[in-house]
Structure 1
C-alpha cells in the first residue's frame, strides 16, 4: 500500500483508499485461491486501518456504517462488504450522498444509475437543496453522540433551503483536523465539553495539525479557554466558516475574548431549533447573490424596451431571418437579462446603491478587504484606476520592471516618475524571477538620502508572477514601512485571487497581510520591539539597514491595494476583475480621487452578465473555495509527481522546482523541491512562512529544451495543433501549465499521456535518424539548454527625462508623448544602424514600449537608453510577436535633436554638485 508521503492531501488519500478497498473486496469475492485470499485480507485490513483515522471527520458514510463494514469483514461476509464498499465509493465519487440517503444493505433498493449527480441535468441539479456538514465539538459518549445527532435531525424542516448532516469530534485538535480535511464543513458548534488532545496519531494528521496551530500555545491553555481558542484558530485556516459557541461562562468573561469566526454565543442551553436556524442563516448569508438574483428576477419581468440595445430581450435576434443561430447557441436567458437600464431592481456600477453595492460588500467580506470594487474590463483597467487614483504628476513610484504592461501605461497616464526595480534573472530558462527585498530597500534608502522620500508614493509589485513566484508580503511591507511609514502598496494579484481560500497561500495575500499588520502594529509588544531596534540603529549605515530585518513603526499607515483577475483563477466571465482596498487613509484622502479614476476608466455601459458572474463567483469560493483550491493544488502536485518519476519523460523534460527558480539565499527553509522521488511530498507550510520567495505549486513550469523545440514551437505546433492542449506562457525553453479550480484528474492524466506519446515519438525519431539528423538535433538541444542569452537589466532613463543624477527615477510620460510627433523619431535596424550606433558609443533612446511576447513585459520603455545587452537580447529572441517593433522599419528611437531640445537635458544636477 502506498505510504502517506505519496499523497499531498488527506482528501486524495481518502478517495484512493476507498477505491483500493473496493477493488480488494471485489477481488476477495471472486478469488478461490486460499493464498491469494489471505493476501487480499491483509490488504483489506490495512486499508480499514488507514481509513479508520480519517473517517471520523466526515458525515458520510459515518462511523456507524464504517464500523459495521469492518465487522462484516471480520465475520467473513465478503459479498455484503463488497456491496456496501461499492455503494460508498460510488457515492463519494459522484457526490450522490449530498442529495439523498445512500442505502448500504444488499436488500435495499436504490436506482443508483439514474440518481447519480453526473446523470442529472443542470436544471435538476440547480433545483436540489445544497448539502453541507456541521461539525460539533464535544467530548461525549457514543450514546450522547447519537443523542446530539438525533436532535440535529429533528430540527430539519421541509422548507429549509439547505440540508446538512452532523459530524461529532471530541477535541480541539480533532476540530482543527476536521476543518482542514473536510471541505463539506460550513459551520462549527463548539460545546463546553471539548478536550484539547486528539486520540488519533497519524503522520498526515500531525502535519495538518502543526500547520493550523502552535503546539506551545495550545499546551498553555486553560480548559475553559479551549472553545474560544478553537474559534480563533479556525479563523486562521478557514475564516469563511461560521462558529457557534455554547458556553457556561458569564457574559463578562466572554466579552473580552477574541472569538475569531464565532457568529453567536449560546449560554448554557440546549435550544437546538435556535441553533439550527442560526446555522441556516449563516450559510444563507454566504449563499446570497444580490445582483445575480436581481438580474434573474429582471429577466422574468415583461418589459417594453424603448432605449438603446436592440439585443435586449432578444428581440433583434428573434425577429431576424439570418442570425437565429446566435440565439440557438446562447439560449434565451442571456438576452432576457441584457439591458442598459438601472431600474427594475437593478443598479448602476458607477453609482451603486442597490444590489451591486451589496454584492461588492459581500465580496469585501469574502476577500478580507475594507472595500471591494467590481470591474468589467479586466485587471488592466483595475491597475490604471488604482494608479491614477493615488499617484499625482511628479510622484515617485517604485515599479517591478517585469510587471504587466498596464502598469507601465498607468505610469504614463498618472505622470509618475518611475524607479524601475530589477528582478533576479533566471538566464538558464530565459525568464525573470522577482524583485529582492534588498533591491527595494536600497532604492528607498537612496531616495531618502537624496531628500526625496516625501515624494515617494507607491511600491508596485506582481504577486504572484506569471511563473508562480510569490513574495513574502508581510516582510516586504513591514521593512518598507520602516523606511517610509506611509508608503502605498499595490499588489498585482491578477493570478492569485484563489489564494485567499487556501490556508497555506492566504498568508501571502495583500489583504490578509494588511489585516495582520493593522492588528500587530497596535500591540505593546510590537511597540517595544520597534523602540529597541530604533535605539540599535541610531547611528547605523545604509549597509547595516540593508542587512537588518526592519520593524515597522507603530504609527505606520497600512495602505494596501490588490487587483485580481477573478476570471483568471476563479469563476467569472472573461474580464471580470476586482479591486480590493485596505487603506487606513482611503476615506479621508483617496475616496474622491478613486471615484474619479473609476469613472474615467469604467464604461458607462458595463456588461451585467460579467457583474452577475462576479457575484456568483464570490458565492462559490465562500462556500466551496477551500475544496476547489485544494483539488487544484492536488492536480498540480500529481502532475509534478507523474512527470518527475516517469523514466521516459525524464529524458526530454524537467519540472522546474523551487530550487531551480529561487536562488538558495532566498529560500531560508532550505526546501528545494515540493516533491522528491525518494521522500515523497515536502510540507510547503515552512517555505510559505519563512522564505523570501516561494513557488506557487499550481503552476508547473516544464523545461522542454531537451526536445529540441523552443517553447513557442512546442506550445503551438505540438501541444495546440496536434493535441488540442491550450497553454499561455512560454519562454525560450520552457512552457507553463497552470491548473485552476476547474482542472480535473482526467485532464492531468491526458496531459501525461500526451507527454509520454511525444517522448516516444522522439525516441522513434532518433532511433531512425541519420548521423546528420542526430547532429542537428543535438545542436538544437545544446542551443536551448546551454547557449542562452543573458537577460538584460533595466539600463537607465536618458538624462533628458531625469530630474538629476542622484537617483534613477525617470519621467516616462514626457518621453511617451514626445514620440507622438513623428519628426522627433527615427527607425534603426537591429543588425545594421542600431548596432553600428551602439558600437560607435552613441546614446540611443527608445521612443516606444518594446514588449516581446513571450515574456510579455517591456524590455524597453519610452525614454530608456538602449544598451548593448538589450540589443543582444532582442537579436536572440525567437518569438513571433514583439509589440512596438516593426521588422520592416526597425526600432523606433528619438532623434538627437529631439532630445537636445528638451529643457531638462540642460539642467541636470549631479552628485558632485
Structure 2
C-alpha cells in the first residue's frame, strides 16, 4: 500500500541550466530513482499556501543559494538579516505552526549553516552542502528521515488496520463480501467495488481479527488508540463509539442512571437524551433555556443551575417529589447540558462545575458540536474536558463528542471522554456493561480508524492550527458579509447574527464574543456575566422580515425559500428557521466554499429583486410543484411572509417552547402504554389536556416540544393548527413535525397525535 507524500524542493534555479540547477535536479532524480515523487518550485510564492503542503509532503528542501539570499548575506554580513532570510524564516514558521515533525533541509553550494540565524537552524533536520557527497547518498539520507516521518504518522489502530490490509490474508469471517470479492461477481457489485475501492473493502472486517484488537472489550490496537486519544484530549478515559453521539449519550446514561432516579436535563437537549430518560425509567426535571423571537435558542440562566432552584423544580414535579421522598439521601443522578447549543451558544463550564460539584453525581456535557474547543485558547473555560480544566472533587464528568461533526471522523464516528473526580475512579467494568448494551457486535472498522485518525490530527500544534484556521475563515466570512451589506447601503441584504462589533482582522479574543447582559444583538435579555459565549464558527444567517423583538416587517424573505434556492445551486446548509439558516465552519471548510455561498446569496438577491419566475430559478422544484411555476420569487416570498405575519408565528413558536409543560406520567410509563397500544389517535383540535405518548418534535429546529407523559396546552395546539393550515397552502414548504400522524380522509389530510388512552393518566 503506497501513499503519495512527495518531497518538495524550493530553489529559484530548479529549472535553470546553470550549475546550481543541474545540481538540484540531479538530487531530485536520485530521490525519484528511489521511488519517491519530487515537486520542484522556483519561489516561495504565497507563503501560507506553500506551507499548506506540509500535510501532503514528506520533507522540504530549501535553497539558501538564491541570488537574493546570497546578496543579502554578502552585503549585510552573516549576523544581519534581510528580507530573503526573513522570508525563509516566515516560511519555516508557517510550516512549524502546523507541523513540528516534518523534515526540513537547507542546502547550499557556497554558504553554510554559519550564515543562518539560530532560530532557523533549530527547526532543521539537516543542512546539505552540495557537491561534497553524491546525489544518491544525499537522497538516501533525506529519504531515511522522510520515511521515518511518514511511518510515524499513523496512530495505533489505523497502523494495525493498514498492516492487516497490506498482508492480503484470506478471510473466512464476516462480512460476507470477503474483502470485496463478492462484489466482483456481479455487474452492480462491480460498480460498488469501483466506487468505494479496494482498500475500504479490504479493511471492512469483523471483530474476529485478533491483531486489530477488540472494540467491545477495549483491547489491543483499539485500546491503544483510545488511550492515545485520551492523552490528546487530556481525559482520564476515552471510548470510541461507532453509531454516533446519540448512542454515546445513551451509554453514559445507562452506565449512570437507574429506574426512578431524578435527573436534571436541558430542555434544549438532543432527542437521544429523552430516549435515555424513557429507557432508564428516570424522572426528569428540566432547565429551560432562553429564546429570542428569531427562534434562536439561548442559554439556560445561571440561576436555574443553582441547587436551591433545582430543588424547587423537584418539589414542583409530583414524580420527582415522590422519588426524592422515597430516597431522601440520593442526589440527582446526572445533569446533561447541550454544549454548545445548535445556534452556537457555549457555557463557561468552570462556573457550572464550581456550582454543582458534589450536588449532582455526574455532570454530562453533550459536546457533539464542540470537540474542537480543547485545542485552542480561544475557548478557554468553555469546554468540559481538556488542558487547563479543573478536576471536580466529587462529580464524575463526561463529555460526548461527535467526531464526525466538527473534526475529521466519518459519519457516526463519536467518542466518550471521562474525567474522574478526586474522590473516586470510573468503574470501567460497570461502564462497559452499558457500552456493550448499545454497541454492535459487528462494528465498522473504518469508523474506528477515523476516530483514531481524527484524534491524531488534533495533536498540537496541528490541531491548534486547524481550529484557528476554521475560526479565521468564519471571521472572514462575517467580514465579507458586512462589506457587502455596507456596499448595498440602504438596500436589503442578509445579516450574520453576532455582536455588533467584530475584530477588523485576525480571530480576536473570547471577550469579543461574550454574551453581555441585555446586549441588543442577542435578544436573550439579562444574562450572568462571563457565563456564555457565541462560538464564531457557528454562523446564523438572518433573512429580512423579522426582528429580534418578534416584529414583522412589511416585506420579508422566509429562510425556507432561500435554503431551497441554495440547494438547487449546490449549497446545502445545516438547518433553517423561519427567518434564519445555520452554517458551520468546520476544519474542512475552505475559502472557496464560503465565497461560493456569498456569491449564491448575491444571485438570490438579484433574482428576488427582478422577481424572476420560479420555473426559471428553481426548475426542479417548479416541476414537482407546478402551482408555483408562474409565480415570481419575490411574490412567493411575500405570500409566505404575510401568512407568518397574519398568524403571529414568531410569538407562537417562542411561547410554545417557553410554556409550562405539565408532566402527567413518567416518560417510561407513557412509552410502555404506547407499546401496549393503550393509546388514542387524537385530532389536533381535540388535544387540549391530553397526554402525549410520543416525542413531538418540530423541524426546524428539531428540538422535542413534548415528551411522552406530558400534556398539551393551548399554545402548542395553536402551533399545530398553524402547521396544518400552512402545509395545505404551501406544499413543498411544509412544516415537518415528528410525532404528528397524517392520514387522508375523503381526500382531505387530517393530523393526529397518539395520546395515552383517556382515564389511564393521573398525576
Instruction: With the length of structure 1 as denominator, give the TM-score of the two structures.
Output: 0.60
What is the aligned partner in structure 2 of residue 435 from structure 1?
Answer: 300
Q: State the Cα distance separating 1:403 from its structure 2 match.
A: 1.1
Contact 2:179 2:203 in 1 (8 A): yes
Pair 448,129 (structure 1): closer, same or farther in 2 beyond 3 Å: closer
Distance in 1 (CA, whole Å) between partners of 2:122 and 2:389 is 39
Counterpart check, 1:657 vs 2:497: yes
Contact 2:239 2:417 in 1 (8 A): yes
Q: State the Cα distance separating 1:287 from its structure 2 match.
A: 3.8
Give 3-state SS (helix, strand or coil) of 1:334's partner: helix
Q: Please, which runs of 5 or more residues in structure 1 have no aligned partner? A: 1-82, 109-127, 135-141, 165-279, 522-555, 660-671, 802-810, 906-913
What is the aligned partner in structure 2 of residue 346 from structure 1?
Answer: 212
What is the aligned partner in structure 2 of residue 593 from structure 1?
Answer: 430
Q: State the Cα distance separating 1:682 from its structure 2 match.
A: 5.4
Pairing 1:52-201 to 2, within 5 Å after superposition: 86=45, 91-92=50-51, 99-101=60-62, 105=66, 131=102, 146=117, 153=124
Pair 826,613 (structure 1): closer, same or farther in 2 beyond 3 Å: same
What is the aligned partner in structure 2 of residue 691 from structure 1?
Answer: 530
**1:70-95 CA distance string (max 9 Å, x none):** xxxxxxxxxxxxx9674857745766
Counterpart check, 1:814 vs 2:687: no
**1:164-214 CA distance string (max 9 Å, x none):** 9xxxxxxxxxxxxxxxxxxxxxxxxxxxxxxxxxxxxxxxxxxxxxxxxxx
**1:575-625 CA distance string (max 9 Å, x none):** 010000012389656433311100000001101111111111111111521
Pairing 1:174-323 to 2, within 5 Å after superposition: 287-323=153-189
What is the aligned partner in structure 1 of residue 756 from structure 2?
Answer: 894
Counterpart check, 1:492 vs 2:366: yes
Q: State the Cα distance separating 1:705 from its structure 2 match.
A: 3.9
Give 3-state SS (helix, strand or coil) of 2:385's partner: helix
Pair 342,560 (structure 1): closer, same or farther in 2 beyond 3 Å: same
Q: 2:440 aligns with which of 586, 591, 603?
A: 603
Distance in 2 (CA, whole Å) between partners of 1:357 and 1:568 is 23
**1:264-303 CA distance string (max 9 Å, x none):** xxxxxxxxxxxxxxxx99x999845111111111112242
Contact 1:480 1:487 in 2 (8 A): no
Distance in 2 (CA, whole Å) between partners of 1:285 and 1:456 is 49
Distance in 2 (CA, whole Å) between partners of 1:655 and 1:731 is 14
What is the aligned partner in structure 2 of residue 642 from structure 1?
Answer: 480
Counterpart check, 1:424 vs 2:263: no
What is the aligned partner in structure 1 of residue 450 from structure 2?
Answer: 613
Q: 2:558 aligns with which of 696, 710, 716?
A: 710
Pair 461,132 (structure 1): closer, same or farther in 2 beyond 3 Å: farther
Pairing 1:544-583 to 2, within 5 Å after superposition: 556-583=393-420
Q: Which has the higher helix share?
A: 1
Q: State the Cα distance separating 1:884 from its structure 2 match.
A: 1.1
Distance in 2 (CA, whole Å) between partners of 1:773 and 1:712 is 12
Contact 1:385 1:601 in 2 (8 A): yes
Contact 2:103 2:145 in 1 (8 A): yes
788-797 vs 334-343, which moves further: 788-797
Pair 675,644 (structure 1): closer, same or farther in 2 beyond 3 Å: farther
Contact 1:395 1:456 in 2 (8 A): yes
What is the aligned partner in structure 2 of residue 373 from structure 1?
Answer: 239
Give 3-state SS (helix, strand or coil) of 1:313's partner: coil
**1:410-460 CA distance string (max 9 Å, x none):** 11111110012211011x212322211212225324268776572411110
Distance in 1 (CA, whole Å) between partners of 2:225 and 2:574 is 31
Pairing 1:865-884 to 2, within 5 Å after superposition: 865-877=711-723, 879-884=734-739
Q: 2:686 aligns with which of 819, 830, 833?
A: 833
Query: How big is the alpha-carbon RMSD for the aligned residues of Structure 1 and Structure 2?
Result: 3.8
Distance in 2 (CA, whole Å) between partners of 1:641 and 1:149 is 35
What is the aligned partner in structure 1 of residue 593 from structure 2?
Answer: 747
**1:705-741 CA distance string (max 9 Å, x none):** 44844323322x20102x1101121111111111111
Distance in 2 (CA, whole Å) between partners of 1:330 and 1:759 is 39
Give 3-state SS (helix, strand or coil) of 2:692's partner: coil
Contact 1:794 1:859 in 2 (8 A): no
366-375 vs 335-344, which moves further: 335-344
Distance in 2 (CA, whole Å) between partners of 1:615 and 1:775 is 51
877-886 vs 740-749, which moves further: 877-886
Pair 696,163 (structure 1): closer, same or farther in 2 beyond 3 Å: farther
Distance in 1 (CA, whole Å) between partners of 2:708 and 2:314 is 26
Distance in 1 (CA, whole Å) between partners of 2:258 and 2:143 is 51
Distance in 2 (CA, whole Å) between partners of 1:151 and 1:505 is 31
Distance in 1 (CA, whole Å) between partners of 2:436 and 2:669 is 25
345-354 vs 872-881, which moves further: 872-881
Distance in 2 (CA, whole Å) between partners of 1:84 and 1:498 is 34
Contact 2:662 2:711 in 1 (8 A): yes
What is the aligned partner in structure 2 of residue 28 from structure 1?
Answer: none
Q: Please, which runs of 5 or more residues in structure 2 have no aligned partner? A: 1-41, 70-98, 106-112, 128-137, 316-320, 516-528, 546-554, 615-629, 727-733, 744-750
